[in-house]
Amino acid sequence: MKKAYFIVISLITVMIISACSQLGGTTVSSEDIEKYPETEIRNIVPFSAGGTTDVNQRIIESLWKEHFPENMVIEYKPGAGGEVGFTELAKSQPDGYTMGSINTPHIILQPLGRNTEFEHDSFDILARLVHDPQVLAVKAGNDIKTLDQFVKKLKEKPGSLSVGLTGTLTGDHLTTLKFMEAAGVKVTLVPLAGSADQVKQLLGGHIDAIMGNVGDVTKDIEQYKVLAIATEERHEWLPDVPTFKEQGIDLVAAIDRGLAVPKGTPKEIKEKLFNALKEINNLPEYKKKMKKAGLVQGFMPGEEWAELISKQKAEAEEILKKYDLIK
């Protein structure tokens, strides 16, 4: 009797371990993947509502039901330049019912510069969706009309101009550090919760400039004077804006945005989500909405983006060391 009891207990233990292993994320049955998703999927946006990351996810949300029977529900987790939301995503259950936006170089910089509960490779990346070049902009009507004037004022009085950023150890932060180094100037850094806050502070006259994205300024371009764009050549959306390089400052930078799931999410679920994102990315309606919102499409499969992120880490370490920001 005892022997039979122990056999039963052993079988139950094996079944529990197997079930936990499945949840941990290697594979699911074809029947389960056919049913997926059976409930709504949570989408963590790590910045404030109304910013460019949010707008991109809202566009995807508007087309989600064409691919899945259940809703995608956006959940805002702003703070610390995205760190709050990135942490939430990294620590969530890898069951296929949580995904979230990740931004680079944010997920590279934050673990380098401070103690975080995630690393740049703490996620299973689905796809890059946006490749958004960075711009330096002031409010329309500002006395400063050119990049030369901006630089001259800073050289005359270091720190006299403030630049709004989406938090510290973010893409805006890194680009501003690169700008200061390349131009030989010092600005006053003003970290904010998200790009919507940058715009609000700039238009309200509380900061002098923003280091933001093409998508931040093209929606209401008449409200800004864009001094420079950090691309190799002039951008088709801002053809009259000279590049930093044209103006003697060697600076090329962009913010990349995409979607990821917690590490260990079953591969079949990741494939299903990726295929849906790829189809959405190719829809004429999606392209139209992205252009109208000022978001530059930059679709890239997750594995390719992960490789690029690893390469970008080395460059980021170098600049952070120069400014004593490495932990």
CATH number, position 71: 3.40.190.150
Residue indicated by tokens 């401070």: 114
- Return the higher-pLDDT residue of 240 and 12: 240
Q: Is position 218 within any domain?
A: yes
Same domain, 53 and 137: no
Same domain, 144 and 226: yes
Q: Is position 40 within any domain?
A: yes
pLDDT tens, 215-237?
788 888 999 999 999 999 999 99
Residue 26 pLDDT > 60, yes or no? no
Same domain, 151 and 54: no
What is the total count of domains within the chain? 2
Residues 263-271 have a mean pLDDT of 96
Same domain, 150 and 227: yes
For residue 30, the model assigns a pLDDT of 82
Got the DSSP string for 8-21? HHHHHHHHHHHHHH
Same domain, 316 and 234: no
Last residue of a domain, one of 230, 254, 278: 254
| Mean pLDDT rounded to a whole number for the chain | 90
Same domain, 55 and 196: no
Same domain, 235 and 261: no
Q: Is position 247 within any domain?
A: yes
Q: Is position 52 within any domain?
A: yes
For residue 226, the model assigns a pLDDT of 98
Residue 167 domain boundaries: 132-254
Got the DSSP string for 70-122? S-EEEEE---GGGHHHHHHHHHS-SSSSEEEEEEETHHHHHHHHS--S--TTS
Same domain, 142 and 227: yes
Q: Quick count: other Cβ atoms within 10 Å of Cβ 190?
A: 18
Last residue of a domain, one of 199, 229, 254: 254
Same domain, 263 and 127: yes
Residues 49-57 have a mean pLDDT of 90
pTM: 0.79
Q: Is position 283 within any domain?
A: yes
**How far apart, in whole angstroms, are the C-alpha atoms of residue 113 and residue 317?**
9
Same domain, 208 and 187: yes
Say which CATH number the domain at 204 has: 3.40.190.10
As beta bridge partners, residue 224 has: 139
Q: How confident is the model at residue 327 (pLDDT cuts 50, 70, 90)?
A: low
Residue type, 211: M
Lowest mean pLDDT among 24-33, 74-83, 303-312: 24-33
Same domain, 143 and 244: yes
Q: Is position 9 within any domain?
A: no
Last residue of a domain, one of 254, 281, 310: 254
Residue 295 pLDDT > 50, yes or no? yes
pLDDT tens, 79-117?
988 999 999 999 999 999 999 999 999 999 999 999 999
Q: How confident is the model at residue 29 (pLDDT cuts 50, 70, 90)?
A: confident
